[in-house]
Amino acid sequence: MPRVTEEHRAARRQQIVDAARRCFLREGFHRTSMQDVIAEAGLSVGAVYRYFPSKADLINAIAEQAIGGAGQVLGDLARHDPPLPLVTALERVLAYVETQLGDDGVLRIAIQVWGEAQRDPALAAFVAETYTGIRGHFGVLVRRAQAAGELPADADPDATAAALFALVPGWFTQRILTGGPDRATYLAGVRTLLGAAPRAE
């Protein structure tokens, strides 16, 4: 029997995660059973349980995708040389977020993850750790902006980072729940609040 490659295992795992995401988007976490996921994936019971022994494991895997991607993007922005203006960095984060806002996008799952985290201590710990890391990336951006003279040197960087971080879920939650505003409109408002000059087109 040929050996199963790591690429095959990763593809199969993703196949199951994608199937679970579709189920969760249709029915929510609690109304979706493992049998629903198995049927959606078109795989055997053993194949699915080999990768995900429980629905909780599936939820955790989807949570990683739902809220982990933005952290990677922010980490890259925090290391950007030269440092980017804060609104430019935020714009790039929102541009990434926008790619995840489709009907089957992972960020629609993020709202379900927040609710599930209120009852699942392990998931709550994961969400808290991930969001604390994202807030930390914003802290790096703020400190670099202070060093560049973009922000006052005496500003509290942690408080400023927390406020900037809140702008991201604030936008995509509005988009999911109300359909707007679009990214350009939102960023125009952010520039007004930050006192930033309009960007030259």
pTM, full prediction? 0.82
pLDDT tens digits, one per residue of 40-79: 999 999 999 999 999 989 988 888 877 777 888 888 999 9
Question: Where are the domains positioned within the chain?
Answer: 1-53, 63-194
Instruction: Specify the CATH class of 1-53 in words.
Output: mainly alpha
Instruction: Specify the CATH class of 63-194 in words.
Output: mainly alpha
Q: 171 near 97, Cβ under 8 Å? A: yes
Name the burial class of residue 77, with classes exposed (0-12), middle (13-18) and buried (19+) by CB atoms within 10 angstroms of its CB: buried
C-alpha to C-alpha distance for 86 and 93, rounded to whole angstroms: 11
